[in-house]
Amino acid sequence: MAKVLVVEDVPDIRFLLVETLVDAGHEALESGDGVEGLASARQHRPDVILLDVMMPVMDGLQMLEALKADSSLASIPVIMVSAKGQEQDVKKALRLGATAFVVKPWAHNEVESQITRALAAR
């Protein structure tokens, strides 16, 4: 399956996302903030990134901008996963280059479906 980087600062949510990915047969990598996530993306070149919006150090939108500005990382699909799902947040993330936006708490199989779509569109 796919190598997926989960960038989420809340350990319990990160754990749930990783478990969901592993159960679906994916390889899961973890980072607790945008700085770690960016370094991990550069090192591991994941197939897809699941990215929280609100995080310390570097938030998800800042990390998304940095990913899309780096030609070696720009083609990696980024799925935002956030409790902050107001219309302006979703539009901004999509405008910055996110592939999709999943609002926490997510529906059953929504994360897996978005990953499948992102990989198919690649």
pLDDT of the residue at 1: 86
Evaluate if residue 85 carries a pLDDT over 80: no
Q: What is the helix (H) or strand (E) element at residue 121, kind and residue range?
A: helix 110-121
Token pair, residue 8, equals 């989420």
Mean pLDDT of 38-53: 97
Mean pLDDT of 115-122: 91
Token pair, residue 16, equals 């749930």
Q: Residue ranges per domain, the chain?
A: 3-121
d(CA 76, CA 97): 10
The region that residue 89 occupies, defined by phi over 0 for left and psi between -120 and 50 for alpha, beta otherwise, is alpha
Percent share of the chain, pLDDT over 90:
84
What's 3-121's CATH class? Answer: alpha beta
pLDDT of the residue at 19: 94
Name the 3-class secondary structure at 87.
Answer: helix
